[in-house]
Amino acid sequence: MDQTPPLPRPLGPAPVFRCFGAGDPLYERYHDEEWGVPVRDDRGLFERFSLEAFQSGLSWITILRKREAFRAAFAGFDPEVLAGWGEPDVTRLLADAGIVRNRSKIEATLANARALRDLHAGGGSLAELVWSHAPPTPDAADVLEHVPARTPESVALAKALKKLGFRFVGPTTAYAAMQACGIVNDHLTACPVRARLISRSGPPAPP
């Protein structure tokens, strides 16, 4: 049975203005339908945080174009499955040309799956942890240059994740994931998607 998480339903007609991605259909769809849409389930969050870690040092479009290959290689980012993988799986993944073949990032993904398994065993959830770091009143920016790369909330989240055993999720990666998962709405003020997200979801709140 296909375990690939479905994409969120489109927010509406494609906007005339986009914060990024204009000219590339895949990137445009990601901007219009996914980036900033709240993700509140642990598996969805685990996938986004994993992909953001792989993106470190690379462009996001590189990861986006490989996303289906990543999903196939990493068992749909099922943390319960990945938590049981070991060195033979790392070796296999390093031979997979469809993904980013970086040993540190691959090993971190498996370690993070084990950390999430332990968090679940203790009665916690990644969604509760991540959404507890949502800023109370996110600021809107007019241009991308004014969008921060990290915030006090992302620094605190990165520290909390590290304490739980998560790896390769520093403050910048944590903030990129917070943006992607709708913990903050960093669509620019002129972007129609920003207003649609606000009207559709209201202020961010823990699940």
Spot the catalytic one: 27, 30, 85, 175. 30
Domain residues for the domain of 84 are 25-201
What does the pLDDT profile of the chain (207 residues) look like in tens digits?
444 444 455 555 555 689 999 999 999 999 999 999 999 999 999 999 999 999 999 999 999 999 999 999 999 999 999 999 999 999 999 999 999 999 999 999 999 999 999 999 999 999 999 999 999 866 689 998 999 999 999 999 999 999 999 999 999 999 999 999 999 999 999 999 999 998 765 444 444
Nearest alpha-carbon partner for 60 in 5, 2, 19: 19
Q: Where are the alpha helices (DSSP H) in the chain?
A: 25-33, 42-55, 60-65, 67-73, 79-82, 87-94, 103-121, 126-131, 152-163, 171-180, 192-201
Locus of tokens 């990165």? 158
Q: Which of 33, 60, 107, 128 is catalytic?
A: 60
Residue 1 lies in a domain: no
Question: Does residue 3 belong to any structural domain of this protein?
Answer: no
60 is a catalytic site residue? yes
| Residue 157, domain member (yes or no) | yes
- The single residue of 47, 52, 131, 153 carrying the catalytic annotation is 52
Whole-model pTM: value is: 0.88
Q: Which two tokens mark 153? A: 């909330």
Is 10 part of any domain? no
Residue 88's CATH number: 1.10.340.30
- Assign residue 139 a region (left: φ > 0; alpha: ψ between -120 and 50; beta: otherwise): beta
The answer to whether 131 is a known catalytic residue is no
In a domain, 11, yes or no: no
Whether 176 is in a domain gets the answer: yes
Split into its structural domains, the chain has a count of: 1
28 in catalytic set: no
Query: Could you identify the residue written with the tokens 């790369």?
Result: 149
